Amino acid sequence: MILVTGGAGYIGSHTVVELLNEGKDVIVIDNFSNSKKQTLDSIKKITNKDFKFYEIDYLDREKLEKVFKENQIDSVINFAGFKAVGESVIKPLDYYINNISGALTLLDVMKKYNVKKFVFSSSATVYGEPEKIPITEDCKIGGTTNPYGTTKLYIEQILKDLYKSDNTWDIVILRYFNPVGSHESGLIGEEPNGIPNNLMPYIVRVASRQLKELSIFGNDYDTKDGTGVRDYIHVVDLAKGHIKALQKLEKDQGLFIYNLGTGNGYSVLDMVKTFEKVTGKKVPYKIAPRREGDIATCYSDPTKAKKELNWEATKTLEDMCKDAWNYIEKNGKK
Ligand code: UFG
């Protein structure tokens, strides 16, 4: 059985769908701190399959142990964690406690129950100001600019230390680039609380007239049109990367690190234009000052994941825009 923490969240829910589609036995835990119960029903509707669910906080060791006692767990995918960059600057302790103590509690319970296969959601943010573009996994890491990013960096270090102390652990660290879009059914998707910080959810709300206009944070970067360049990846492609990571752990032993990105860099203006073309909706924007902590360009070299995991992103920027918009249309937020 595969335990998925944070399985009702954005990336977690899309991954649970792919796991169920692959015929895997899944147990989800979530405390709904940034997700909804309804997502669990949507997953069942999409897949026509059922799974076990516990409403618990992964920091609650006693309840977490109960899950391990009651089930024969073989591997764990950890999606539980806070993820808002700006909020992490305001509430650093919340982020360090939830993300790091949560991961530590989970790993310690796994150790106790002798479950040693672990897939961790890391982020391209660990590369800080990237050493080179496209970014390969052996680029130096560090220099994170906010507590959220630092929790990812520290947890990576904890996992490396753990593996060094006991190489019977099998660990995959996945460094996500910029996940966007939604499942094509429109039943699950991204729902940030409050005003979104990230580009795609913001664009979607401008297009649906919930927000007036997009602020483009800087048009004087050293990029083709002056706006920031990122490696946007469709969340379903990303979810499939986790299936491949589990397959890797079933056949090979070790600690492995992979970039999950498309290898393409698109600017903010590319994104706005593509969104407008695909959806026929207008996205009014203005140029605003640069956002603190942003870098000009960040995109992956995904070769290692292709070679070792046999994984490759297949969806285009058009697919990402279409599916992000479809979710909003289907959910009556137009
Ligand atoms: N942007 C705008 N206006 C907005 C929002 C974003 O112009 O309202 C721009 C940003 O300046 C940047 C690009 O759009 O150039 C993408 O910004 P996002 O906030 O969507 O994404 P980031 O690349 O800043 O951060 C994302 C995730 C982090 C993760 C990081 C890894 O949000 O969790 O990628 O590289 F750490």
Instruction: Report how far residue 235's alpha carbon sits from residue 237's, in angstroms, rounded to the nearest whole number.
Output: 5
64's CB contacts (< 8 A; 6+ apart) are 29, 56, 58, 105, 106, 109
What is the 295 CA–ligand 1 centroid distance (Å)?
9
3-state SS, residue 248: helix
Nearest CA to ligand 1 atom 36: 125
Average pLDDT of span 251-255: 96
Q: Over the stretch 32-44, which tens digit does the pLDDT of each residue have?
A: 999 999 999 999 9
Mean predicted confidence (pLDDT) in 318-322: 98
Distance (Å, rounded) from C-alpha 333 to C-alpha 326?
10
Instruction: Identify the band that residue 270 occupies on the pLDDT scale cut at 50, 70 and 90.
Output: very high
The pTM assigned to this predicted structure is 0.97
Strand spans (E) along 249-318: 255-260, 266-267, 285-288, 297-298
Report the separation in Å between the CA atom of 293 and the middle of ligand 1, taken as the mean of its atom positions.
Answer: 10
Task: Name the amino acid, one letter, at 44.
Answer: K
Calculate how far, in angstroms, residue 98's C-alpha sits from the geometric centre of ligand 1: 22
Count of other CB atoms within 10 angstroms of residue 127: 25
Q: Supply the pLDDT for residue 332.
A: 66
Mean pLDDT of 104-121: 98
Kindly report the CA angle at 222 between 218 and 227, in degrees rounded to 5?
A: 35
In tens, the pLDDT along 161-196 reads 999 999 999 999 999 999 999 999 999 999 877 889
pLDDT mean across residues, the chain? 96
Active site residue 285: no
User: Are the CB atoms for 297 and 155 separated by under 8 Å?
Assistant: no
- pLDDT score of 115 more than 90: yes
Position 334 confidence tier, pLDDT thresholds 50, 70, 90: very low
In this predicted structure, the answer to whether residue 271 has a pLDDT above a threshold of 70 is: yes
CA distance 128 to 230: 14
